[in-house]
Every structure is written in structure tokens, then in C-alpha cells.
Amino acid sequence: MHKIWLVIKREYLIRIRKKSFIVMTFLGPLLLASVLILPIYLAKNNQEKRNIAVANQKDFTLDDNELLNFVTIPQNEVDNIKTNFEDSPYYALLIIQEDTYCLYSNQQVTLNVVNEIKRQIEYTLKFNNLKKIGIDNQTLKNAEQSIDLVTKIINKEGESTKTHSEVSTGIGFLGGILIYMFIFMYGTMVMRGVIEEKTSRIVEVMISSLRPFQLMMGKIIGVALVGLSQFLLWVIFTVAISALAEMVLLNDVFLNANNIENQSVIITQIKNLTSGINLIQIFISFLFYFLAGYLMYSSLFAAVGSAVDAEADTQQFILPVTLPLILSFILIQPIIDNPEGPLAFWMSIIPFTSPIIMMVRLPFGVDSWQIILSMTILVSTFIMTTWLASKIYRTGILMYGKKASFRELLKWLKY
Amino acid sequence: MTKYLLKVKNVVKNYGDYVALENANISVPKGSIYALLGPNGAGKTTLMRIINQITGPDFGEVLFNNEKLNKNHIFGIGYMPEERGLYKKMKVGEQALYLAQLKGMKHSDAIKNLKFWFNKLNISNWWHKKVEELSKGMAQKIQFIVTVVHDPELLIFDEPFSGFDPINAAIIRKEIISLSKKGKTIIFSTHRMESVEQICDYVALINKSKTILEGPIEEIKNQYTNNTYLVELDNSNLEKNKLFEFVVKNTNCFQLSLKEGISSKDALDFINKKHNILSFKKEIPKMEEVFIKAIKNA
């Protein structure tokens, strides 16, 4: 046990010290966050308060807001401003006459300014019209109501929970793709590690000190910890960056850009959207399927690595290993379209596809017996593949210069 | 009585249909330098892997200090395989420390011994270098150090001199001899017969997966002498006679093969009567000749 721990420590440290790991760890969430936040940030920065000169011939009140500042000017200044527009402090000049509303500027007025002015004028007109027929301000305000259309699913117990099918789709897709990415990235990392040990000829020195199985498992577990660290760091950084961004940017931008439903903040939004989806269950399942799926595949990747002398030779062995992975990836969309169908069911039970497909299905709700069955099969398969892989591995790592065939791999199982 | 550190008894190892070892037997006396000889593919490396518990024998047993070989013996053995290398991206010191700890050393002891060896081989300033910055010869010094760092009782070198330049090979040979003087037992395999004669006490010859010859080097050589003598005379010619036959006949230099029942004294006396002898020497076969002969006979 002490030796396997030494191997885990080396495999872990050597990888997290790499520049690429550090860069990815910080860059990943930053990239993600910036995709979300940059457009908002840019929009906000462009929205400095603009002064709109208003020459009003009607009884109009326009409300200032974060974007716009309305300055009423006397009629006789209109021509003066029009001729010297460059020098005036105004972004645009709004002239309201009997039935015409006209916005002058020396540049193309942005759409949100136009929309905002249009909305205010229309609102005021509607308000004035209603007032004429005796409906006052308060009655009008009371009459306004915004709603949220709720979709619900009926389950066996007859209870219904609020769902948002777009959100389920999104979470399913994200979970499936993350598992696919992690298994691929870290599985091949294990394979490359094994090949490196072979090509650098350190492996015989190593296994004169410890059993091949210890070396293989040490590597697999070490790389798994690298993957988990990366994932957890991403979660932490993304949450931290989002929280920071919300504090700095979203509060004022969001709240003031849309002046309806002012209390909506991103967190409550997420809470609303994901109600009916068991996020904790999904998170725990994600960790489980990531680990078990990774362990199953990485032992196969290790066996492939041990059977070849160089990464270029891996093609013939790697295809059968990655085929189920790629198949599950392709089938994510059809599974999302029909998450309860027989294809979805079987693929979430078969261990080679279950890590990805079950993650896709989970947000739509899966019976617990299916989850337990799928997990049990996955764990037993992982134990079996690890056992088989270690047999190939311990022979393969000592074979130099020979190109192994599948038949030879089968023979190695018997040594 | 000779005390044996390692005994390999009737060891058989098959890889599928391929027989790697068939009845391998060696007995390695404590404190000896023991050479495993044999052509490529004879099974030397397989035998070394079995002693190092890298693979297990199909039949037969290996005794280490009269105990059946087990996991604890790993700490008592240092092994430098023929296919040897290091992690390229790791720092030299860090890597040596890692390998020493895998041999069961405590961190502090490992550091102490490594510092000692690094000083001894004059490479202390390599500690923080990356392995990929080292030349092949430099890397081999590190490999030697990680083989001996845990102070094992038995040291096994598979082709220790292959790949070394002459200067480094001499350094390693010197270190192997000084380890032997400290009482360590050493087994090595080699193709280079001259290194065998220089430093070995015992040899075993493995051919086609069998040990065909084993014992103290002098005994084996004596087995393979065939009563030939080299004679050098002072400018005269040896004539034909009943005591010996000529194997090689040059001016002044002769290689004689004595006939049955004739002692070297008889021959010497006979020649001495008529000729001025400059030298008279029994021809002892080189290991290389023994090697070739033994394989031919087998």
C-alpha cells in the first residue's frame, strides 16, 4: 500500500505541476465566464448616460433611466442645435409634434435607445388614451400582470413538479459531454503515461520494486485525482467568478436594463429553472459515473499503452476501446429526444455507454432501480476490465520491439 | 563449506509455447562476483527477472538466504536491467529519491545515501537537473546509483557495461569491485568475456534455456585445458618426437600438445637438453574459447 501511494503521489504531482494543467485550470473557468459575461460587460460599458434633447409640443413626460437623460429644450433652440449638433451636449434630438415623432442625430442611433424612447412614448400614449376614458394611473398599474408559464410532469405518485425541459436538456447535454471529455482526456493521459514508461525504459526498474498492478493502479488513481482536482477547481473558480461578476456587473446592469421584475437575480433564476431537477443527485451521480467510467476505460487505455512501443501504433487497439464512447456521444441527441425509450434504457445499463448516457437521462428523471442496476453493472465491469487489463499490462510492458496482435494479447492473458 | 546467498533450483519458465528456461540451476556463493554468460535469447534476462520477482517461475524454486523468495527480499536486491531508463521529465534528485523510496527506504535515509553516492561519483551538482538534459552516459551513472542506493545484499546487473563509454565503464567496474570487497554479492550478465576474466569468481553458462556449465572460473578453465603448452626458444628449431605433437609451428615459437601420460616436466626436460628455452607456459583457455567449446559440445 505504501508503494502504490508513492506512485499515486508522483503521478499526481508531476501532472499538476505542469504548466498546461495550471493554465487550463485558470483559463477554463475564465473562458467560460467571459463567454457569459463579456457581452454584458461590453454592453454596459457602451451604455454611458446619453442626453436626449426633447422639443415637446405635446404634454409629454419622459422618464430618465440608466441609459437616457431627457432634457426638455425650448422650441426656439431646435434650429440652433440642429445646425451645431456636433458641439451640442446631446446624443439625439427628439421632436414631438402633433402626430409625428422624430429623432435627429448626427449618427446612427442605437436600437436600444430607439426602442426605449418608442416604448416610453407608446406607454404614455396608451396611458393618456386610457385616462381619457376614465381609467386612472393606479387602476392601470393594477391591471398589469406578468406571468410565468409553468410546465409540470405527472409521475406515478401523482405529484407534479415544475420542470423546464430546456434546462433538463441543457444539463443532460452538459453532463454527458463532460463525462465524455473527461474519460477521453484522462484515459489517454494514462495511456501516454504507460507508453512513456515503456519508451523511456524505466518500467523494468520500476517493477523490480513493485508489482505491475500497483504501478498501473497508482498511475490510474493519480491521474483520476488530477481530473477531479481540475473539475473541482473549475467549479470553485466558475462559482467565484460568477459571484464576483454578479456583484460587480449584473446587479446594476440587469436590474436597470429591464425595468420589469426588478428582484430577479441570477441565483434565484437558476433556482427557479432547475426546480424539479435533483441537482444534488446529478452532482453525486456525475462524480460516480466520472470515476467509475474513467476507471473502467483507463485500465483499458493502460492495457493498450502497454501493448505498443509508440503512440503512433495505438490506432488498431484504441478503436475498439473508444468506439462505445464515440457512439454514446453521437447518440446524446436522440436520447435527449426520447429519454425514456428502449435505446436510452439499454444504453444506460450497458457499462461501456452508461456513464455518458445515464448522465444525459438523469435530469429528465430516472427510476432509482435503473440507476442502481446501471451503477452495479458498471462497478463490476470496472473490476473485471481492470483485472484483464492488468494481465495484458504486466506482460506488455516488458515486450520491446514487437508489434502485438489481438491474438497475442489474448495469449498474454494466460501467461 | 561455501555459503550460498542465492540458489536457483530446476527453474522452468514458459511463455505460451516458447520455452524461456528449462531446468535452470545456479548457486551463487555469498560475496562472490558471479557472471551469467550465454548467447542472446538463452534465457539470462528471464532468469534475472525471476530472481527479481518480475515474473514467477512455472516450476522449480529460488532460495534467497535459504528462504523461499518472497516480497521482502525485494529490499535486499538491487537490479539494473539491460533495458534501463529514467523518467525524462523528472529532476534527477527527485527521481532517485522516488526510486529509492520504492525500494522501501525512508525519506531521510534515502537522501543520506543518495548524497553519499552523488558525491562519490562526482555528480552532486546534477541533483536539480532534468533527466532529459543528461547525456546517455550521465544517465547511466544515475541508474547505477539507484540500483545500489538501498544497500542491497545482492546486486544484479544485466549487461552493465553495454552503452557505457570506456571511462564510465571503468568507473562502474571499479565501483562493482569495491562493493564486492564490502561483502556484497554480485551477479551480472555480459557478452564481454574480457570483463568476466578480470573481475569474476564464478560463472554460469546458459544456452538454449539450460545451464550447461557452472562453477568457479578457474575450475571451469581447467576443465577445458587440453594439455597444450607454449614454448619459445632462442633461435632454434624443435624437431618431431614422441612426447608431443605440434599444434602450431613457427620459427622459435611452438604450441605443443602433450601426448597421453606425458607430464609437463618430461617435455620441459626433453627440450631443455638441446635448446635454450626463453619461455615455457601452459596455455589456459580464454573464457571466450570455453564459451564457444561448451556451446558446441552441448
SS3 for chain B, per residue?
Answer: CCCEEEEEEEEEEEECCEEEEEEEEEEEECCCEEEEECCCCCCHHHHHHHHCCCCCCCEEEEEECCEECCHHHHHHEEEECCCCCCCCCCEHHHHHHHHHHHCCCCHHHHHHHHHHHHHHCCCHHHCCCEHHHCCHHHHHHHHHHHHHCCCCCEEEEECCCCCCCHHHHHHHHHHHHHHHHCCCEEEEECCCHHHHHHHCCEEEEEECCEEEEEEEHHHHHHHCCCCEEEEEECCCCCCCCCCEEEEEECCCEEEEEECCCCCHHHHHHHHHHHCCEEEEEECCCCHHHHHHHHHHHC
Q: What is the largest CA-CA distance in chain A?
A: 102
Q: Name which of A40, A124, A109 is nearest A68 in CA terms.
A: A109
| Same domain? B263 vs B232 | yes
Q: Is A2 domain-assigned? A: no
Residues constituting chain B? 298
Chain B hits for A206, Cβ within 8 Å: 99, 102
| Same domain? A135 vs A183 | no
C-alpha distances in angstroms, A206 versus A12, B44, B109, B250?
A: 17, 19, 20, 57
Strands (E) across A23-91 are located at 50-56, 68-72
| Same domain? B174 vs B264 | no
pLDDT at B23: 86
pLDDT at A302: 92
Q: Name which of A373, A411, A377 is nearest A392 in CA terms.
A: A411
Q: Sheet containing B244-249: which strands, arranged edge to edge? A: B244-249, B253-258, B228-233, B277-282
Chain A hits for B90, Cβ within 8 Å: 14
User: Residue B102 and residue A415: Cβ atoms within 8 Å?
Assistant: no
Q: To 10 degrees, the CA torsion angle through A369, A372, A373, A375?
A: 160
The pLDDT of B11-21, averaged and rounded, is 85
Per the prediction, chain A carries an average pLDDT of 81
Q: Is B289 domain-assigned? A: no
Q: Is A6 domain-assigned? A: no
| Same domain? B28 vs B114 | yes
Q: Is B77 domain-assigned? A: yes
Chain A hits for B85, Cβ within 8 Å: 200-202, 205
Q: Is A20 domain-assigned? A: yes
Strands B59-64 and B67-68: antiparallel
| Same domain? A125 vs A194 | no
Full domain range(s) for residue A319: 14-40+164-414
Number of domains chain A contains: 2
- The answer to whether B30 and B75 are in contact (CB under 8 A) is no
Q: What is the DSSP letter of A109?
A: P
Q: Is B61 domain-assigned? A: yes
Q: Is B287 domain-assigned? A: no
Q: What is the DSSP letter of A363?
A: G
Asked if A398 is an interface residue toward chain B (Cβ–Cβ < 8 A), one would say yes
| Same domain? B79 vs B186 | yes
User: Residue B86 and residue A200: Cβ atoms within 8 Å?
Assistant: yes
3-class DSSP assignment, residue A258 = coil
A207-251 pLDDT, tens digit each: 888 888 999 999 999 999 999 998 888 888 877 877 777 666 655
Please name the residues in contact with B270: beta carbons below 8 A apart, sequence gap of 6 or more. Answer: B241, B243
**Distance between alpha carbon A324 and the CA centroid of its chain, in Å?**
23
Q: What is the DSSP letter of A247?
A: I
pLDDT at A259 over 60: no
| Same domain? B104 vs B249 | no
Number of domains chain B contains: 2
Q: Is A148 domain-assigned? A: no
Percent of chain B with pLDDT over 70: 99
Chain B hits for A415, Cβ within 8 Å: 15-16
User: Residue B84 and residue A201: Cβ atoms within 8 Å?
Assistant: yes
| Same domain? B166 vs B31 | yes
Output the CA torsion sign for A8, A10, A13, A15: negative
Distance CA A212, CA A302 (A): 11
User: Residue B102 and residue A6: Cβ atoms within 8 Å?
Assistant: yes
Which of B72, B87, B88, B162 is most worth mutating to test chain A (most A CB atoms within 10 A of its CB)? B87
| Same domain? A28 vs A80 | no
Q: Exposure of B142 by Cβ count < 10 A (0-12 exposed, 13-18 middle, 19+ buried)?
A: buried
Q: Which of B15, B99, B101 sits opposite A205 (nearest CB)?
A: B99
Per-residue confidence band for A258, with pLDDT thresholds at 50, 70 and 90:
very low
Cell numbers found for residue B131: 533527466
B111-162 pLDDT, tens digit each: 999 999 999 988 888 899 998 888 888 888 899 999 999 999 999 998 888 7
The pLDDT of A177-201, averaged and rounded, is 90
DSSP A120-184: HHHHHHHHHHHHHTT--HHHHHHH-------EEEE-TTS-EEEE-HHHHHHHHHHHHHHHHHHHH
Asked if A225 is an interface residue toward chain B (Cβ–Cβ < 8 A), one would say no
Asked if A369 is an interface residue toward chain B (Cβ–Cβ < 8 A), one would say no
Q: What is the DSSP letter of A75?
A: G
Asked if A200 is an interface residue toward chain B (Cβ–Cβ < 8 A), one would say yes
| Same domain? A53 vs A35 | no
| Same domain? B244 vs B216 | no
pLDDT at A255 over 60: no
- The answer to whether B187 and B278 are in contact (CB under 8 A) is no
The pLDDT of A264-286, averaged and rounded, is 69
**Distance between alpha carbon A298 and the CA centroid of its chain, in Å?**
24
Identify the top-confidence range among A52-61, A70-79, B82-91, B109-118. B109-118
Q: Is B57 domain-assigned? A: yes
| Same domain? A82 vs A193 | no
3-class DSSP assignment, residue A326 = helix
Chain A hits for B79, Cβ within 8 Å: 205, 208
CB pairs under 8 A between A and B: 60
Per the prediction, chain B carries an average pLDDT of 86
C-alpha distances in angstroms, A271 versus A163, A168, A212, A275, B210?
A: 11, 13, 49, 6, 75
| Same domain? B74 vs B175 | yes
| Same domain? A115 vs A231 | no
| Same domain? A139 vs A203 | no
B226-262 pLDDT, tens digit each: 778 888 888 777 777 777 888 778 878 888 888 877 8
pLDDT at A71 over 60: yes
User: Residue B90 and residue A208: Cβ atoms within 8 Å?
Assistant: no
Q: Is B13 domain-assigned? A: yes
Distance CA A107, CA A89 (A): 14
Strands B4-15 and B59-64: antiparallel
Q: Which of A200, A398, A414 sits opposite B85 (nearest CB)?
A: A200
Per-residue confidence band for B74, with pLDDT thresholds at 50, 70 and 90:
confident
Full domain range(s) for residue B94: 4-222
pLDDT at B113: 93
A169, amino acid identity = T
| Same domain? A137 vs A168 | no
| Same domain? B268 vs B190 | no
Min distance B237 CA to chain A CA atoms (Å)? 58
List the CATH number of the domain containing B197. Answer: 3.40.50.300
The pLDDT of A75-100, averaged and rounded, is 81
